[in-house]
Amino acid sequence: MTTAEIITIGTELLLGETVDTNTRFIARTLRGLGVNLFRTITIGDNAGRIAETIRESMGRAEIVLTTGGLGPTVDDPTRQAVADAIGVPVEYRPELWEQVEQTMRRYGRVPGENQKRQAYVPQGALALENPVGTAPAFIVETERNAVISLPGVPREMEYLLTRSVVPYLQKRFALHEVIKIRTLHTSGLGEGVVDEKIGDLETLTNPTVGLSAHSGVIDIRIAAKAGTEAEADGMITALEQDIRSRLGEAIYGADDDTLDSAALAAAAGRGWTLACIEAGAAGNLLERLARSGTPVYRGGDRSEVAASELPQALRAACAQRSASAGLGIHVSIQGEQMDVAIVLHTPAGTEAQQRTYGGHPASVPRWAANLALDWLRRKANEVQP
């Protein structure tokens, strides 16, 4: 079982000045190789702390991937930190300096003397040419480990990871397995209820099942590790069928499916068109429906009507927009009391719900929108006599 850890390097990451997108890309790449990733770490530009972190990661995992800290400035310490972690000096490589010079010439610039730092790598390292940037990457091998240092610039990192590092890892660690993921999306049930229904499956080791809650939507992640994609797909399919049989209509889609699209598709299946009204909900529902680009949605308005006035206002909006169905939400926040009113108008009549919310006030609009969309989806999917 080959394991890996990712170390993202940069004080700007710790200060929140830069968003780390590299970890997600690397993690997904490792997943596709069947490599188990148990830990990711972010650390600032301090050579001593980086070296200590690398040594710790090497003790836990065969593969240690670092990003960042390979530039030409004084605060780019990764080369020295990796060398210190391994217990070797850094060495100058004339061929790497030539690569830096050639890259800079393509930019119409002459490299400064400080950029020679990029031509240094830990002694004995396998250098990786970087044709899309000025910072050469490198791999340091030990009997057990591969410490792979890549640039922090996302495009450069992605290029080198897919073109150079993946083939290296496949050969060095004889990687012949894959990890595949399928995510089922549910709405209308709380996380505790979902857990009660499928909790026994969450104890499996392969495939594995995990839950993640998102303001009225619960995701169920199925991950399978196998020798081939076909084997992994088969494992996932069998488990997915079991989960679907237990949760039924609570599951509205998988992977890239959204609750917005599921609700609108259900309305379209009934031949409904939809208008919408929001009051106090920050435009969350209106914006999501507007992005759909489907003729099913006839548009909507933000309003200041009271909750008691919402049914009448929604019917008027449906008439104005020639929509056969309508969805309205009203959010009221008074201190710690957060109330949500939802109104659904269909050709069969107008119905209303009253709900209270106990989470963070900033999450109320999305929670309310998800409840409303789920109600529309379920109502449109009801079997007709």
Do 155 and 275 belong to one domain?
no
pLDDT classification of 107: cutoffs 50, 70, 90: low
pLDDT mean over 248-253: 96
Residues 25, 156, single domain; the answer is yes
pLDDT higher at 101 or 286: 286
Clarify whether residues 143 and 56 are in a common domain.
yes
> Do residue 7 and residue 112 come from a single domain?
yes
Please write down the HEC assignment for all residues of 329-349.
Answer: EEEEEECCEEEEEEEEEECCE
Residue 75 has a pLDDT of: 73
Query: Could you say which of 172, 191, 210 is where a domain stops?
Result: 172
Within the chain, residue ranges assigned H as helices are 11-14, 22-33, 47-60, 78-86, 94-106, 154-160, 166-172, 191-198, 229-247, 259-269, 284-290, 310-320, 364-381
- Asked if 95 and 210 sit in the same domain, the reply is no
The residue that leads in pLDDT, 102 or 55, is 55
pLDDT at 100 over 90: no
**How many domains are contained in the chain?**
3
198 and 165 share one domain? no
- One domain, residues 183 and 248: yes
Instruction: Read off the pLDDT of residues 35-92 as tens digits, 9 standing for 90 and up.
Output: 999 999 999 999 999 999 999 999 999 999 999 998 877 778 999 999 999 999 999 9
Give the tens place of pLDDT for each residue, 182-228. 999 999 998 999 999 999 999 999 999 999 998 899 999 999 999 88
End residue of a domain, out of 194, 220, 254: 254
Same domain, 244 and 345: no
Q: In this predicted model, what pLDDT tens digit does every residue of 287-338 receive, in sequence order?
A: 999 998 899 999 999 988 899 999 999 999 999 999 999 999 999 988 788 9
CB atoms within 10 A of CB 385: 3
- The residue segments making up the domain with residue 371 are 259-381
Q: What is the pLDDT of residue 354?
A: 94
% of the chain at pLDDT higher than 70: 97
pLDDT at residue 21, rounded to an integer: 94
pLDDT of residue 83: 96
Residue with tokens 């060095």: 172
Q: What is the DSSP string of 64-80?
A: EEEES--SSSTT--HHH
CATH code of 113's domain: 3.40.980.10
**Partner residues linked to 213 by β-bridges:** 218
Residues 14 and 49 in one domain: yes
pLDDT of residue 336: 81
Start-to-end CA span in the chain (Å)? 55
Q: Is 349 exposed, middle or buried (0-12, 13-18, 19+ CB in 10 A)?
A: exposed
pLDDT at 375: 96
